[in-house]
């Protein structure tokens, strides 16, 4: 029967198939732990057991032609690397793969110190599927979306099996080490020692030839220590002399003391006892526990198919899932030995550890910790950072080991490894202390470590465990006799030398990196240059030699590609010929990146350059650029950057578009009737930012209607506001009430005070004329005349919004004039503001004197009566000065009643501006300064619309005049007015004051000539007996006397006038039954009196008591000069 069909091969295939199925579905190493142990114990040749993994090659490469200490160290690194590779495989087969499973980074410290530290580690990653070489690591190809679970599971099982076998070979517990005798003979031969002897020390080969030296005499110990038991009271066989557990070694140099494995390793680690020879204690073989492997079997569990000792049975079946298992007692319950006699398997990562180890050497989980069962109900975040408890560095949430100290995520702070100093060291050795962070041995007493600069108070003595401080007197041996072999040098000196060398090299490298950074050189370039320049300055080498090296790499890459193309021209596939690198001439930038990725290796840099160029060419080919020559040239010009090459390749394609954009010719207008409707809609979307394609089609349909005369911009603006066709038509057709033209709504403008809308041109022209030629109160709506300027509440809010609208439609000069008039209008509200009677300027008068001087014309006038200033007015009131002027001024006497009417002219009740004009003519007076409209006879305001007076329903231009106003009395003839004055005994003039009769009336009045308000003499012919005045101004003179003496004209009313007065002032005008004219007139006259007196009483009761009600003036605002 061949070996392939042997029972061992059949068993191996069955177990392998079962374990691969389990691992492919679960991805957990704990689920296949038993199968791994079974496969590792099967006696098969290495090449037959490992079908995917090159196990024999990896073992030979890592152990061949090396001494035994290096072989042991290399195999230990191999175990750790296989553990990390095992985790990579389990992550790929796990149903919940990590986020970044597609790549493995070389700069990862765990990868660098484990997988990259052995030979053949990356080949395992290739077997997993990491076949794409990158600058910073390996990754799956881009076309691979999922890993091959079956292949990965098969490779992972062989990695786990090899790790288990190598670990058992190191521990000497492998059941069948014969297949490895030809691969690692040093370990296999050493693990089969002569009968009854074993050597455990740093120099094994020397100890075999060294004759046994009798134990030296003891001398006093410098430190208080507890010596071991004396030889006379030697412990019984099977008990350790230190911990009391079952012993497995006996040392003849230490008075035949017995030790267990853990105590022997600690006790004989001391340099003075490192050369002691120990013999193994013969023990009878018995069936041991299936978990600890050291204690005799006590019970058997048919549910778990395990045979366990007493302690392991209690611990294993304490889990809630295994409490109900029934066990059968198969042996006596003996006392379990110490857990530090042989090896134990980690339940989390399945690593075989020594019994003296409390934490797992790979994952550093506690010895008794159970396997981690992922809780699918609680989502774990891989992005949350975690802080290492050993070095306090913040690591990424996806990392398992710390990036600096490489300790596991759940590991606690490690204890300080003690460094024993030789008893024959220098006297100042007590000053040495070990740093608890970096384990550096400091030789000088200092509060900080010389290496890591951290505060470390843990000295060497304090760091030692108590068991090692208790050394027997026999340990302090005297020097060996003459002829004896000299003892090895203490290891402390070697460690110090190694640490000092590492410190010097590190400081030198840091200094070189800092100098390079000042010159703009990266640390990667410095590292690669150090591999090439030897001991010279790397920066100088990069400046002088790197360009030549990069040219050489480029030439080598081009040569390799040309040779490959010449040798495979006929067999190369079409795609490879199209995307290949025929005639490639890479740039220095590409060669430099490849050289840095290769770590300074020229051959690897050439291969990397070829791979990178092929990947870039494939990417450009996939984007549609099939011209190899143009792609090669674009990559060379862009320094190997795909984006830059793509920009260069796309530039000729977009050149016509660029020429179209930057051409000097104007953009042709959009023709709504163009045959290509799609092209027109695309242009509308690009130029006018319409919200949708449907709006573009709506614009085209509206422009094609026969009755639409609006421009494209107007239609687009209307379509942006709504998609309703009827609403859009209403927006496009609006008639201006001023010019009666049709405009779209976007070209119409309205005021905030009304709903009227006018076109932009009419709006600007109206307010330009109003600002230049009219008063600021004329700046109202050109259509409806709103708002009411006489209302002060509306005035302020109206001008505040009007200013914003006029800023955009008026010229700068007109807008500045508007602001000037607006400022003057605001100043007029100040009681100290005065208008000059000589010019049209105004100013603020802060003084309290009658004489004021205008700052514009420098002329003086009276601040109270607004008359030009004369010296006779000094220290005299205005009334006394006016009386003196009538009596003594010849010019005033010559003017007669015309001068009287001029002096008693019109005063604006709003701004107090005085006009030397008569009140005759139109009683509707408009102030030229403040544009206040009022009656010149009673000073009551004129309203253009409905006023706020109760029971007033008139909506046109009107004012409410009292019955003694000139507005009503000017209709009386002169004899009737003279009769009213004679009844009250008031004198009046009938002849001119100078005795001469003039032909024309000389009273000044305001006239409208060619649309302008001008002041000129009346010029109407005078009549005899009217004091040299015309009939109109003579009646005005008589009415002024009536007003000055507060005469009531109602006493001369006839019945018709009394009826109209009652209706006007809401009196009772109905005639009673049987009333004649005299009784009806007397009653109406009483009503007029009563109504007038009652209305005056309501307003003036606080000042006028009821018994003086007849003294109340008829008109409250009627000018009266007594």
The model's pLDDT over 905-925, given as tens digits with 9 standing for 90+, comes to 777 887 777 775 665 567 888
Higher per-residue pLDDT: 652 or 382: 652
Query: 3-state class of 875 per DSSP?
Result: coil
Among 25-34, 56-65, 244-253, 578-587, which stretch is predicted with the lowest mean pLDDT? Answer: 578-587
pLDDT tens readout for residues 440-495: 777 777 777 777 766 654 433 444 333 333 433 333 444 444 444 444 445 456 77
pLDDT for the residue 295? 75
User: What's the chain's Rg over C-alpha atoms?
Assistant: 59
pLDDT tens readout for residues 844-854: 888 788 888 99
- Say if CB 602 and CB 549 are below 8 A apart: yes
Looking at the annotation, which residues are catalytic? 922
Q: Which residues of 975-1013 are buried (b: 16+ CB within 10 A; e: fewer)?
A: eebbebbeeeeeebbeebbeeeeeeebbbbbbeeeeeee
Query: For residues 433 and 440, what is the distance between their CA atoms, to the nearest angstrom?
Result: 8
- Beta-bridge mates of residue 288: 296
pLDDT for the residue 923? 80
Query: 3-state class of 469 per DSSP?
Result: helix
Per DSSP, the residues of 633-694 read HHHHHTTT-HHHHHHHHHHHHHHHHHHHHS-SSPPPPP-TT-S-HHHHHHHHHHHH--S-HH
Among 138-142, 484-488, 687-691, which stretch is predicted with the lowest mean pLDDT? Answer: 484-488
pLDDT tens readout for residues 111-136: 888 888 888 888 899 999 999 888 87
pLDDT tens readout for residues 285-297: 557 787 876 677 8
Residue 300 has pLDDT above 80, yes or no: yes
Can the peptide bond before residue 787 be classed as cis, meaning omega within 30 degrees of 0?
yes
Percent of all residues in the chain with a pLDDT value above 70, rounded to a whole number: 74
pLDDT for the residue 380? 42
Residue 343 backbone phi and psi in degrees, to 5: -95, 165
pLDDT for the residue 297? 82
Residue with tokens 């990868």: 111
Q: How high is the mean pLDDT of the chain?
A: 75
Higher per-residue pLDDT: 762 or 344: 762
- Say if CB 901 and CB 888 are below 8 A apart: no
Residue 1112 has pLDDT above 90, yes or no: no
pLDDT for the residue 659? 77
Among 14-23, 505-514, 789-798, which stretch is predicted with the lowest mean pLDDT? Answer: 789-798
712-721 and 725-732 helices, crossing angle to 10° = 130
Most confident option among 211-220, 704-713, 760-769, 1035-1044:
760-769
Residue in 308, 349, 348 with CA at minimum distance from that of residue 330: 308
pLDDT for the residue 1104? 31
Query: 3-state class of 187 per DSSP?
Result: helix
Residue with tokens 């090659």: 57
Tell me which H or E stretch contains 757.
strand 757-759
- Say if CB 477 and CB 215 are below 8 A apart: yes
- Beta-bridge mates of residue 299: 308, 329
pLDDT tens readout for residues 399-430: 778 877 777 877 766 554 444 444 344 444 45
- Say if CB 293 and CB 355 are below 8 A apart: no
Query: For residues 964 and 760, what is the distance between their CA atoms, to the nearest angstrom?
Result: 48
The count of other CB atoms within 10 Å of the CB of residue 786 is 17
Query: For residues 845 and 849, what is the distance between their CA atoms, to the nearest angstrom?
Result: 9
Q: What angle do CA 944, 947, 953 make, to 5 degrees?
A: 100
How is residue 918 annotated by DSSP? -
How is residue 284 annotated by DSSP? -
Higher per-residue pLDDT: 1017 or 164: 164
Most confident option among 179-188, 693-702, 1075-1084:
693-702
pLDDT for the residue 45? 86
Residue 137 has pLDDT above 80, yes or no: yes
The beta-strand segments (E) located in 96-254 are 103-105, 132-133, 137-139, 249-251
Residue 81 has pLDDT above 60, yes or no: yes
Confidence class for position 157, pLDDT limits 50, 70, 90: very high
pLDDT tens readout for residues 927-950: 776 777 888 888 888 887 778 777
Residue in 538, 546, 543 with CA at minimum distance from that of residue 508: 538
Sign of the C-alpha dihedral computed for residues 511, 514, 520 and 521 taken in this order? positive
Query: For residues 483 and 106, what is the distance between their CA atoms, to the nearest angstrom?
Result: 54
Average pLDDT of the segment spanning 706-728? 84
Question: How distant, in Å, are the alpha carbons of 159, 542, 543 from that of 547?
Answer: 44, 8, 7
Structure tokens at 978: 């003279």
pLDDT for the residue 898? 55
Query: For residues 611 and 557, what is the distance between their CA atoms, to the nearest angstrom?
Result: 10
pLDDT for the residue 161? 93
Residue 272 has pLDDT above 50, yes or no: yes
Average pLDDT of the segment spanning 863-877? 82
Structure tokens at 17: 């198939």
Higher per-residue pLDDT: 947 or 595: 595
Residue 335 has pLDDT above 80, yes or no: no
Among 12-21, 361-370, 390-399, which stretch is predicted with the lowest mean pLDDT? Answer: 361-370
pLDDT for the residue 468? 35
The count of other CB atoms within 10 Å of the CB of residue 247 is 27
Average pLDDT of the segment spanning 1069-1095? 59
pLDDT for the residue 1068? 55
pLDDT for the residue 158? 92
Residue in 305, 309, 311 with CA at minimum distance from that of residue 325: 305
Residue 741 has pLDDT above 60, yes or no: yes
User: How many residues are there in the chain?
Assistant: 1122
Q: How far is CA 555 from the centre of its chain?
A: 48
Residue 583 has pLDDT above 80, yes or no: no
Residue with tokens 């060398």: 501
Phi-psi map region of 1075: left, alpha, beta (phi>0 left; psi -120 to 50 alpha): beta
546-567 and 588-597 helices, crossing angle to 10° = 90
pLDDT for the residue 682? 85
Higher per-residue pLDDT: 48 or 274: 48
pLDDT for the residue 160? 92
Sign of the C-alpha dihedral computed for residues 620, 625, 631 and 634 taken in this order? negative
Average pLDDT of the segment spanning 699-728? 84
pLDDT for the residue 155? 93
The count of other CB atoms within 10 Å of the CB of residue 1102 is 6
Query: For residues 55 and 51, what is the distance between their CA atoms, to the nearest angstrom?
Result: 9
Among 313-317, 404-408, 661-665, 917-921, which stretch is predicted with the lowest mean pLDDT? Answer: 917-921
């Amino acid at each position: 029967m061949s070996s392939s069909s042997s029972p061992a091969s059949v068993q191996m295939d069955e177990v392998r198939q079962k374990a691969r199925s389990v691992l492919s579905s679960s991805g957990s190493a704990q689920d296949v732990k038993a199968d791994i142990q079974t496969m590792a114990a099967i006696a098969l040749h290495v090449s037959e057991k490992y079908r995917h993994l090159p196990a024999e090659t990896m073992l030979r490469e890592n152990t061949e032609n090396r001494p035994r200490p290096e072989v042991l160290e290399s195999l230990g690194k191999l175990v750790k690397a296989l553990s990390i590779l095992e985790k990579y495989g389990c992550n790929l087969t796990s149903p919940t793969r990590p986020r970044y499973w597609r790549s493995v980074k070389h700069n990862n410290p765990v990868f660098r110190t484990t997988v990259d530290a052995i030979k053949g580690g990356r080949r395992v990653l290739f077997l997993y599927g990491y076949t794409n070489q990158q600058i910073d690591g390996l990754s799956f190809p881009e076309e691979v979306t999922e890993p091959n679970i079956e292949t990965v599971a098969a490779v992972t099982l062989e990695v786990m099996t090899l790790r288990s076998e190598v670990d058992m070979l190191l521990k000497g517990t492998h059941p069948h080490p014969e297949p490895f005798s030809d691969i690692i003979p040093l370990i296999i031969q050493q693990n089969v020692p002569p009968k009854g002897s074993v050597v455990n020390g740093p120099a094994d080969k020397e100890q075999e030839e060294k004759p046994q030296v009798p134990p030296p005499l003891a001398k006093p110990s410098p430190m208080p220590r507890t010596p071991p038991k004396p030889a006379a009271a030697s412990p019984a066989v099977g008990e350790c002399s230190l911990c009391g557990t079952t012993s497995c070694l006996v040392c003849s140099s230490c008075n035949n003391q017995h030790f267990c494995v853990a105590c022997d390793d600690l006790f004989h680690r001391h340099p003075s006892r490192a050369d002691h020879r120990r013999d193994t204690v013969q023990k009878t073989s018995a069936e041991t526990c299936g978990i600890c492997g050291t204690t005799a079997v006590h019970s058997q569990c048919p549910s778990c198919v395990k045979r366990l000792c007493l302690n392991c049975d209690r611990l294993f079946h304490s889990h809630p899932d295994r409490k109900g298992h029934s066990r059968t007692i198969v042996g006596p319950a003996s006392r379990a030995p110490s857990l530090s006699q042989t090896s134990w398997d980690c339940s989390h990562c399945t690593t075989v550890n020594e019994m003296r180890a409390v934490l797992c050497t790979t994952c550093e989980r506690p010895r008794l910790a159970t396997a981690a069962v992922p809780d699918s109900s609680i989502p774990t975040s891989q992005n949350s950072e975690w802080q290492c408890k050993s070095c306090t560095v913040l690591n990424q949430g996806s990392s398992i080991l710390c990036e600096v100290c490489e300790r596991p995520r759940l590991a606690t702070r490690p204890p300080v490894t003690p460094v024993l100093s030789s008893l024959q060291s220098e006297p100042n050795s007590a000053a040495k202390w070990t740093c608890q962070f970096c384990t550096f041995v400091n030789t000088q007493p200092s509060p900080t470590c010389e290496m890591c600069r951290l505060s470390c108070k843990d000295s060497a003595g304090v760091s030692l465990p108590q068991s090692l401080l208790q050394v027997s007197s026999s340990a302090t041996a005297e020097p060996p006799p003459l002829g004896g072999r000299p003892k090895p040098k203490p290891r402390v000196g070697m460690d110090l030398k190694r640490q000092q060398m590492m410190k010097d090299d590190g400081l030198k490298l840091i200094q070189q990196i800092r100098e390079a950074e000042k010159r703009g050189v990266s640390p990667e370039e410095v590292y690669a240059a150090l591999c090439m320049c030897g001991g010279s300055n790397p920066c100088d080498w990069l400046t002088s030699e790197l360009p030549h090296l990069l040219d050489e790499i480029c030439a080598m890459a081009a040569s390799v590609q040309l040779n490959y193309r010449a040798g495979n021209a006929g067999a190369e596939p079409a795609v490879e010929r199209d995307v290949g690198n025929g005639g490639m001439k890479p740039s220095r930038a590409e060669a430099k990146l490849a050289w840095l990725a290769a770590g300074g290796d020229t051959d690897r840099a050439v291969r990397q350059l070829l791979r990178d160029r092929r990947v870039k060419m494939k990417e450009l080919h996939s984007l549609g650029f099939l011209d190899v020559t143009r792609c090669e040239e674009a990559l060379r010009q862009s320094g190997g950057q795909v984006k830059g090459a793509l920009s260069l390749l796309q530039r000729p394609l977009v050149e016509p578009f660029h020429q179209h954009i930057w051409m000097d010719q104007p953009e042709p207008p959009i023709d709504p009737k163009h045959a290509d409707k799609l092209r027109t809609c695309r242009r509308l979307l690009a130029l006018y930012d319409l919200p949708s394609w449907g709006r573009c089609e709506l614009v085209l349909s509206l422009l094609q209607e026969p009755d639409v005369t609006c421009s494209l911009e107007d239609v687009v603006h209307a379509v942006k506001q709504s998609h309703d066709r009827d609403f859009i038509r209403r927006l496009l057709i609006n008639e201006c009430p001023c010019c009666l033209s049709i405009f779209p709504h976007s070209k119409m403008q309205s005021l905030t005070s009304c709903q009227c809308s006018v076109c932009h041109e009419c709006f600007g022209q109206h307010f330009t004329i109003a600002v230049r030629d009219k008063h600021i109160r004329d700046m109202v709506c050109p259509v409806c005349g709103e708002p009411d300027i006489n209302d002060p509440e509306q005035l302020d809010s109206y001008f505040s919004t009007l200013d914003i609208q006029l800023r955009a439609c008026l010229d700068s000069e007109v807008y500045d004039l508007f602001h000037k008039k607006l400022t003057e209008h605001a100043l007029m509200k100040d009681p100290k503001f005065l208008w000059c009677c000589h010019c049209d300027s105004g100013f603020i008068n802060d003084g309290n004197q009658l004489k004021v001087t205008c700052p514009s014309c420098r002329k003086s006038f009276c601040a109270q009566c607004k008359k030009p200033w004369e010296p006779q007015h000094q220290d005299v009131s205005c009334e006394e000065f006016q009386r003196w002027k009538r009596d003594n001024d010849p010019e005033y006497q010559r003017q007669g009643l015309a001068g009287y009417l001029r002096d008693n002219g019109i005063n604006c009740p709003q701004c107090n501006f005085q006009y030397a004009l008569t009140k005759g003519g139109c009683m509707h007076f408009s102030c030229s300064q403040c544009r206040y409209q009022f009656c010149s006879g009673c000073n009551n305001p004129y309203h253009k619309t409905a006023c706020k007076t109760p029971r007033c329903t008139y909506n046109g231009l009107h004012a409410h005049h009292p019955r003694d106003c000139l507005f009503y009395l000017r209709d009386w003839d002169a004899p009737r007015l003279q009769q009213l004055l004679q009844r009250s005994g008031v004198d009046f003039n009938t002849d001119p004051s100078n005795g001469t009769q003039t032909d024309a009336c000389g009273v000044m009045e305001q006239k409208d000539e060619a649309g302008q308000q001008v002041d000129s003499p009346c010029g109407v012919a005078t009549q005899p007996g009217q004091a040299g005045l015309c009939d109109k101004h003579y009646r005005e003179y008589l009415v002024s006397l009536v007003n000055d003496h507060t005469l009531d004209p109602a006493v001369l009313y006839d019945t018709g006038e009394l009826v109209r007065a009652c209706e006007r002032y809401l009196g009772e005008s109905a005639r009673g039954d049987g009333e004649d004219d005299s009784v009806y007139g007397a009653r109406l006259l009483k009503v007029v009196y009563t109504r007038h007196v009652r209305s005056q009483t309501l307003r003036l009761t606080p000042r006028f008591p009821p018994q003086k009600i007849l003294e109340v003036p008829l008109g409250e605002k009627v000018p009266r000069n007594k």
